[in-house]
Amino acid sequence: MAKTLAQKVWEDHLVRRVAGEPDLLYIDLHLVHEVTSPQAFEGLRLTGRSVRRPDLTIATEDHNTPTTDIDKPIADLVSRTQIETLRKNCAEFGVRLHSLGDANQGIVHVVGPQLGLTQPGMTVVCGDSHTSTHGAFGALAFGIGTSEVEHVLATQTLPLQPFKTMAVTINGALPVGVTSKDIILTVIAQIGTAGGQGYVIEYRGDTVRALSMEARMTICNMSIEAGARAGMISPDETTFAYLKDKPHAPMGADWEAAISYWNTLQSDADAVFDNEVVIDATSLSPFVTWGTNPGQGAPLSANVPDPEQIEDLESRGAATRALTYMGLTAGTPLRKIKVDTVFLGSCTNGRIEDLRAAATIIKGHKVASEVTMLVVPGSAKVRLQAESEGLDKIFLEAGAEWRQAGCSMCLGMNPDQLKPGERSASTSNRNFEGRQGVGGRTHLVSPLVAAATAIRGTLSSPADLLEV
Amino acid sequence: MEKFTSHTGTALPLRRSNVDTDQIIPAVYLKRVTRTGFEDGLFAAWRKDPEFVLNNPAYSGASILVAGIDFGTGSSREHAVWALQNYGFKAVLSSRFADIFRGNSLKAGLLTVILPQENIESIWAGIESDPSLAVTVDLVARQVRWGSESAFFEIDEYTRWRLLEGLDDIGLTLRHVAAVDTFEKGRPNFKPKTLPAKI
């Protein structure tokens, strides 16, 4: 029977299949961070269980960590306790940990790929919904809760009901200034925040084939914002070239064996998807959100929508509520919206290519006087790479702040937060109420839009910089 | 895990759709290392509004949350489930839940019940006109009952059995440890290991 990529990876990890019970799936890689793991380790302790495969587990500190003064103890005592708990747990259970200050510390979804631990055809889980990022390699990767974290620590498996599969096919050349962030924001606006519910999305088409690994990770990362548990892209030469010589990539005969397996990881030509969506890349433009869920977005050239024009009553109510929270008036051109803060970073857009893209735009310009721009590399390694390329100087000379690696302002958990009423253009993934700090207002944007917005002070694309 | 068979209590109407887990419990409340004490963070931002339904004394003591469509979207934080449980909720009713939240709730013993939107509307109407109206969520009969009305709901048989018996998922999987051992013997050599660390 013809199979999709997701079905192939699923079946290659079946430990046990019995009618009337969930499938038992083997987990190849378990990523751990400080927020969703303490209760799981405590559960192991209470039941006298151990970590079955510490050698398939890796931890990093990212959500709570400050992005300044990282050589000093974390000022927030509760955050410090959570970090120290992770350190104690990893030491007790023999789990590899990259702590603050370590060259491999960073956001868990940036660290896995850069170490070469994320590879095609693997099952990857983490107590974090953006685990879908790793699907860019053709892995089946999805977020889990703390009960499941404990389950994977104890058994290296998970009982799961099979997902449905959805194909999102994107064809055509992307117009200048349009990035993979614009693609995924468009997809979410089109299918809605529940459109992918119950599905694994496979992104296909020649547009996707032409994207770098970093750009593919951005797309897969936000699959969860469309309600899908996972997003996948079948591996190809771009994937193999990225992995080659990464620290944990296979070597020698193992590399050859891996390549021949990885080449089988394509959906069969006659595979049937449960749902299909087609996007014409040539019609896309820079895309931003105006509301309080990632599906409430529009092209940057559009106006803030008028809820009265929305037919569906539920969506109309949600839009009305969102505009009140966001402090926006229907009909205002999105380009006229002023921001206080620009955040460049996160597991969505905190990789080296994102920093390079933004630096290209910002070079020789100044951040607008009323705007604060935070540039936060996704990992310590990304920061070092960027510094070796001089990107830090470009951002600093423009008046931006150059920070240490972590989740930073993506979520209001560490010192980097918006104040009530403040508005941001953010390359992160969620514009929920209060996501970046109580009362904060978030517009999700691409790194290019973030850079142009920092310069002009209003939501802007690089093309707007040409108008004098 | 505590067994769930049937629960009767009063219910609280949350007439909002797309309630994400950042609303259920904002990130700043996720710093505890225990499974308890999260009730203070439940809907923390919305609770600052005196008009918010959770602040209405008529619904104090409610143990069933009746929410709008797409409840629990966003972050995978199981703290959202714990916050609801710590506050005193035993069940949540909605016409659609986000996948990860639903999975987390059923692992942790918070029963999430999917009912058609028309049933949700009917329950909202019932509990808004009489906040003391008793609502029963009966997992044995797979039925929700309120006033003179009732509706059946679907839940997969395996999950239902696990909740009815209060069984620990990990314990169930460990019964099949031999199958895991066998699977591991067949794993290809090229699959990566995190140890010894290479950097």
Tell me which chain A residue has its CA closest to the CA of residue B78. A145
Task: Report which DSSP code applies to B96.
Answer: -
pLDDT digits (tens, 9 = 90+) for A427-440: 999 999 999 999 99
pLDDT band, very low/low/confident/very high, at A376 (cuts 50, 70, 90): very high
Q: What are phi and psi of B49, to 5 degrees?
A: -85, 115
> What is the average per-residue pLDDT within A74-81?
94
Phi-psi region of A327 (alpha: psi -120 to 50; beta: other; left: phi over 0): left
Residues 6+ apart with CB under 8 A from A313: none
Using the predicted structure, report yes or no on whether residue A426 has a pLDDT greater than 60. Answer: yes
Task: Write the DSSP assignment of A103-144 as a string of letters.
Answer: TT-B-HHHHHHHTT---TT-EEEESSGGGGGGGGGT-EEEE-
Tell me which chain A residue has its CA closest to the CA of residue B161. A21
> What is the average per-residue pLDDT within A343-352?
98
Residues of B whose CB is below 8 A from A122? 191
Residues of B whose CB is below 8 A from A199? none
Q: What pLDDT score was predicted for residue A45?
A: 97
Residues 6+ apart with CB under 8 A from A251: none
Residues of B whose CB is below 8 A from A194? 18, 69-70, 73, 96, 98
pLDDT digits (tens, 9 = 90+) for B62-89: 999 999 999 999 999 999 999 999 999 9
Taking only Cα atoms into account, the Rg of chain B, rounded to an integer number of angstroms, comes to 19
Q: Does A39 touch chain B (CB under 8 A)?
A: yes
Give the burial string for A199-232 (b: 16+ CB within 10 Å, else e): bbbbbbbebbbebebbbbbbbbbbbbbbbbbbbb
Contact A56/B194, CB-based, under 8 Å? yes
Dist. CA A137–CA A122, nearest whole Å: 9
Helix/strand/coil for A391: helix
Using the predicted structure, report yes or no on whether residue A468 has a pLDDT greater than 70. Answer: no
Using the predicted structure, report yes or no on whether residue A467 has a pLDDT greater than 80. Answer: no
Helix/strand/coil for B136: strand
Q: Does B1 touch chain A (CB under 8 A)?
A: no
Contact A147/B158, CB-based, under 8 Å? no
Residues 33-92 of B with CB under 8 A from A: 33-35, 45, 68-70, 73-79, 81
pLDDT band, very low/low/confident/very high, at B1 (cuts 50, 70, 90): confident
Phi-psi region of A17 (alpha: psi -120 to 50; beta: other; left: phi over 0): beta
Q: What pLDDT score was predicted for residue A30?
A: 98
CA torsion angle A107 A441 A36 A373 (round to 10): 20
Q: Does A62 touch chain B (CB under 8 A)?
A: no
Residues of A whose CB is below 8 A from B33? 38-39, 42, 81-82, 85
Contact B73/A227, CB-based, under 8 Å? yes
| DSSP-assigned beta bridge partners for residue A375 | A344, A402
Q: Does B181 touch chain A (CB under 8 A)?
A: no
Beta-sheet strand order (sheet of A157-160): A14-16, A23-26, A157-160
pLDDT digits (tens, 9 = 90+) for A90-147: 999 999 999 999 999 999 999 999 999 999 999 999 999 999 999 999 999 999 999 9
Integer CA distances (angstroms), A304 to A146, A183, A312, A333, A443, in order: 38, 20, 17, 6, 12
Q: What pLDDT score was predicted for residue B130?
A: 98
Contact A433/B158, CB-based, under 8 Å? no
Alpha-carbon torsion A13, A18, A19, A23, what sign? negative
Interface test with B, best of A33, A97, A129, A316 (most B CBs within 10 A): A129
Q: For residue A250, which amino acid is it?
A: P
Tell me which chain B residue has its CA closest to the CA of residue A246. B199
Q: Which helix (H) or strand (E) holds B78?
A: none
Using the predicted structure, report yes or no on whether residue B2 has a pLDDT greater than 90. Answer: no
The beta-carbon neighbor of A127 closest among B76, B174, B176 is B76
Contact A151/B96, CB-based, under 8 Å? no
Residues of A whose CB is below 8 A from B156? 161
Q: For residue A37, which amino acid is it?
A: S
Integer CA distances (angstroms), A291 to A433, A436, B138, in order: 9, 14, 38
Q: Which helix (H) or strand (E) holds B111?
A: strand B111-114
Dist. CA A320–CA B131, nearest whole Å: 27
Contact B104/A430, CB-based, under 8 Å? no
Using the predicted structure, report yes or no on whether residue B192 has a pLDDT greater than 90. Answer: yes
Contact A154/B170, CB-based, under 8 Å? yes
CA torsion angle A80 A86 A92 A95 (round to 10): -140
pLDDT band, very low/low/confident/very high, at B11 (cuts 50, 70, 90): very high
Q: Does A48 touch chain B (CB under 8 A)?
A: no
Using the predicted structure, report yes or no on whether residue A358 has a pLDDT greater than 80. Answer: yes
The beta-carbon neighbor of B190 closest among A26, A42, A254 is A254
Contact A85/B77, CB-based, under 8 Å? no
Residues 6+ apart with CB under 8 A from A37: A59, A86, A89, A127, A146, A149
Q: Does A299 touch chain B (CB under 8 A)?
A: no
Interface test with A, best of B194, B195, B198 (most A CBs within 10 A): B194
Tell me which chain A residue has its CA closest to the CA of residue B22. A435
Residues of A whose CB is below 8 A from B26? 412, 434, 438
Residues of B whose CB is below 8 A from A154? 170, 173-174
Angle, helix B99-108 to helix B79-87, in steps of 10 degrees? 50
Tell me which chain A residue has its CA closest to the CA of residue B179. A15
Tokens of B94: 């909605």
Residues of A whose CB is below 8 A from B18? 193-194, 293, 318
pLDDT digits (tens, 9 = 90+) for B98-156: 999 999 999 999 999 999 999 999 999 999 999 999 999 999 999 999 999 999 999 99
| Pairing of β A123-126 and β A157-160 | unpaired
Q: Which helix (H) or strand (E) holds A56?
A: none
Mean predicted lDDT score pLDDT of chain A:
97
Q: What is the ipTM, given to two decimal places?
A: 0.96
Angle formed at CA A413 by CA B45 and CA A219, multiple of 5 degrees: 100
Q: For residue A233, which amino acid is it?
A: I
Spatial contact of A192 and A295, defined as CB atoms under 8 Å apart: yes
Dist. CA A177–CA A448, nearest whole Å: 7
Min Cα–Cα distance to chain B from A248, Å: 6
Contact A155/B194, CB-based, under 8 Å? no
| Pairing of β B91-94 and β B111-114 | parallel
Dist. CA A53–CA A324, nearest whole Å: 49
Residues 110-149 of B with CB under 8 A from A: none
Burial of B139 (0-12, 13-18, 19+ CB in 10 A): buried
Spatial contact of B96 and A194, defined as CB atoms under 8 Å apart: yes
Residues of B whose CB is below 8 A from A39? 33-35, 78
Task: Report which DSSP code applies to A458.
Answer: B
pLDDT band, very low/low/confident/very high, at B168 (cuts 50, 70, 90): confident
Q: What are phi and psi of A123, to 5 degrees?
A: -100, 125
Q: Which helix (H) or strand (E) holds A331?
A: none
Tokens of A433: 């109420």
Contact A96/B197, CB-based, under 8 Å? yes
Residues 364-393 of A with CB under 8 A from B: none
Dist. CA B151–CA B137, nearest whole Å: 10
In angstroms, how far is the first alpha carbon of chain B from the final one?
Answer: 41
Residues of A whose CB is below 8 A from B86? none
The beta-carbon neighbor of B78 closest among A36, A161, A321 is A36
Question: What is the SS3 string spanning B27-73?
Answer: HHHCCCCCCCCCHHHCCHHHHCCCCCHHHCHHHCCCCEEEECCCECE
Task: Report which DSSP code applies to B197.
Answer: -
Residues of B whose CB is below 8 A from A430? 20, 22, 74-75
Q: Does B109 touch chain A (CB under 8 A)?
A: no
Interface test with B, best of A419, A432, A436, A441 (most B CBs within 10 A): A432
